[in-house]
Amino acid sequence: MFRMGKRLFENIISGPATRLKPREPFAGERGHIEIDISKCIFCMRCARECPCGCLTVNRAEGTWDIDQFECITCGVCASVCAKHAISMKGSYRKPAEHKKINIYKGTPPAKPNKVEAPAGGKA
Ligand code: SF4
Ligand code: SF4
């Protein structure tokens, strides 16, 4: 009984345990992910490592797609991208009425030309 009264008193004098919306993002808040498609080299690593399968990278088409509704903002894609093309933004997306896939169009780097074998030898 004493403990319950103590807890009750603490709850009355302490601040609220929750935050009201809208509010400012707090440090470490994951929010959502964004891509700078101009940095992407379409290596597909982010798509391979994503635990939710919500990323699709098509090197031939030069497209990078994300289903934000499946994304759990774990940050794996951002941490594995060697080009730092993906970043975590500390704010949540606006609510949407319909599900849609966000498609980004970029320019995959051209494949390097094969080195021609020198005459009489191996490449
Ligand atoms: S976003 Fe990064 S990891 Fe993903 S395909 Fe582009 S370069 Fe590769
Ligand atoms: S944050 Fe996580 S779930 Fe979302 S796209 Fe990146 S790897 Fe996938």
Looking at the chain, the whole-number percentage of residues with pLDDT higher than 90 is 52
Distance CA 108, CA 62 (A): 6
pLDDT at position 117, please? Answer: 53
3-class SS of residue 58: strand
pLDDT at 116 over 60: no
The 10 Å CB-count burial string (b at 16+, else e) for 25-63 is: eeeeebebbbbeeeebebbebbbeebeeebbbbeeeeeb
Whether 103 lines ligand 2, by a CB cut-off of 6 Å, is: no
Residue-wise pLDDT for 30-45, tens only, equals 889 999 999 999 999 9
Structure tokens at 25: 């993002």
Could you tell me the distance, in angstroms and rounded to a whole number, from the CA of residue 30 to the centre of ligand 1?
19
Could you tell me the distance, in angstroms and rounded to a whole number, from the CA of residue 18 to the centre of ligand 2?
26
**Domain edges within the chain:** 48-108
pLDDT at 52 over 90: yes
Residue-wise pLDDT for 17-33, tens only, equals 777 766 676 777 788 99
Residue nearest (by alpha carbon) to ligand 2 atom 7: 50
